[in-house]
């Protein structure tokens, strides 16, 4: 079957290890299902895999892709929960807990095998492309806001770095939940686009805000960390789910303890949270923001755009 896979890893030139070509079809095994992929979406995790983060050489070649929606062997339209071996954080069921492409072949292929437990029904209201955007970036945003941030309708949330998949999800989900959402961006056009999606205000990265916020959604890391800490009201919460600009900024511990700030790590989400997200999209009419839909054989173009940050929303690949 045709697939996009990591043949090699290179921390400095990740795309040099990306190959497009034939790979063996997944084999059926007890307790697992083989899904025909209709759509799969890119995440920064795929670039990190090509850099060798979480993907040692002995597991290569590895088909990339965490997210997908498709059709199982019985003809059911399904969405994949990307975390294998999970019934809840800290609980394993038969398999080591990991994300697809770390230990198990991923979704950038015509077919993928996952534990049957990891399949959820695709709501009829969502297209395959829309559903494929949800299990990583949008689920991450859902958990950040509704499980870890401790915010309520009417609170103000700052989203650092408008434009990426998680950031756009935070804007759309936050507005649907009655939050006041502010965003920052180095790109004025991306800030303007966030306003079109429902953000209440857009600021340049690092700009002084009109007032302190109740929570900051942080995925950028070193480049925005100081601003995130300074933007919080006393007792406020930073929820961090990524560090694309670097993982080791100055901690600013004095401000953290003096203002009793909370720093909460957030990774992906549970199957139950994904079910809640799917239901929220189906019932409210909100949809993931899709930048482009490309055929799987143009995966290199999609990866190049993600590496350059030349996108707003999600990039989707469709096997054809």
Q: How far apart are CA 275 and CA 281, in angstroms?
A: 10
pLDDT of residue 273: 96
Return the structure tokens found at 109.
Answer: 């292929």
Residue with tokens 């953290």: 256
**The pLDDT of residue 95:** 66
Domain locations along the chain = 2-133+288-318, 137-265
Domains 2-133+288-318 and 137-265 share a fold: no
- 278 contacts 79 by C-beta, under 8 angstroms: yes
Burial of 214 (0-12, 13-18, 19+ CB in 10 A): buried
Asked whether 72 and 28 are in contact (CB, 8 A), the reply is no
**Cα gap 127→146, rounded to integer Å:** 24
Q: Kindly give the pairing relationship between strand 201-204 and strand 262-265.
A: unpaired
Cis peptide leading into 61, omega within 30 of 0? yes
User: Which residues are registered as beta bridge partners of 40?
Assistant: 317
What pTM did the predictor assign?
Answer: 0.91
pLDDT value for 142:
97
Please tell me the CATH code under which domain 137-265 is placed. 3.40.50.720
**How much is the pLDDT for 105?**
97
| Residue 38 to residues 22, 161, 309, 312, Cα–Cα distance (Å) | 18, 30, 25, 22
pLDDT of residue 48: 92
Per-residue H/E/C for the chain? CEEEEECCCCCCCHHHHEEEEECCCCCCCCCEEEEEEEEEECCHHHHHHHCCCCCCHHHCCEECCCCCEEECCCCCEEEECCEECCCECCECCCCCCEECCCCCCCCCECEEEEEHHHEEECCCCCCHHHHHCHHHHHHHHHHHHHHHCCCCCCCEEEECCCCCHHHHHHHHHHHHCCCEEEEEECCHHHHHHHHHHCCCEEEECCCCCCCCEEEEEECCCCCCHHHHHHHEEEEEEEEECCCCCCCCCCCCHHHHHHCCCEEEECCCCCHHHHHHHHHHHHHHCCCCCEEEEEEHHHHHHHHHHHHHCCCCCEEEEECC
Q: What is the pLDDT of residue 163?
A: 80
Residues in the chain where the model's pLDDT stays below 70? 86-95
pLDDT given at position 243: 84
CATH topology of domain 2-133+288-318: Quinone Oxidoreductase; Chain A, domain 1 (3.90.180)
């Amino acid at each position: 079957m045709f697939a996009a896979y990591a043949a090699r890893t290179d921390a400095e030139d990740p795309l040099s290890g990306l190959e497009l070509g034939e790979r063996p079809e997944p084999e059926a095994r007890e307790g697992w299902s083989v899904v025909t992929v209709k759509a799969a979406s890119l995440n920064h995790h795929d670039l990190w895999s090509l850099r060798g983060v979480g993907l040692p050489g002995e597991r290569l070649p590895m088909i990339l892709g965490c997210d997908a929606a498709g059709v199982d062997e019985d003809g059911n339209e399904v969405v994949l929960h990307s975390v294998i071996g999970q019934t809840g954080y800290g609980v394993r069921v038969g398999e080591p807990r990991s994300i697809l492409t770390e230990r198990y072949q991923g979704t950038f292929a015509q077919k993928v095998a996952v534990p049957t437990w990891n399949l959820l029904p695709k709501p009829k209201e969502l297209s395959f492309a829309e559903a494929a955007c949800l299990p990583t970036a949008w689920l991450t945003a859902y958990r950040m806001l509704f499980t870890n941030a401790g915010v309520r309708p009417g609170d103000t949330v700052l989203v650092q770095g408008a434009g990426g998949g998680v950031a756009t999800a935070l804007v759309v989900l936050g507005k649907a939940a009655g939050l006041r959402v502010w965003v920052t961006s180095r790109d004025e056009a991306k800030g303007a686009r966030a306003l079109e999606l429902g953000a209440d205000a857009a600021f340049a990265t690092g700009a002084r805000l009109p007032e302190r916020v109740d929570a900051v959604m942080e995925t950028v890391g070193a480049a925005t960390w100081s601003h995130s800490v300074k933007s919080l009201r006393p007792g406020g919460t930073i929820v961090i789910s990524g560090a694309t600009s670097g993982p080791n900024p100055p901690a600013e511990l004095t401000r953290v303890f003096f203002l009793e700030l909370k720093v909460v790590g957030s990774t992906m989400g549970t199957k139950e949270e994904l079910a809640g997200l799917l239901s929220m999209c189906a019932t409210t009419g909100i949809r993931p923001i899709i930048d482009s839909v490309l055929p799987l054989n143009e995966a290199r173009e999609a990866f190049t755009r993600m590496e350059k940050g030349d996108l707003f929303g999600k990039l989707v690949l469709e096997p054809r």
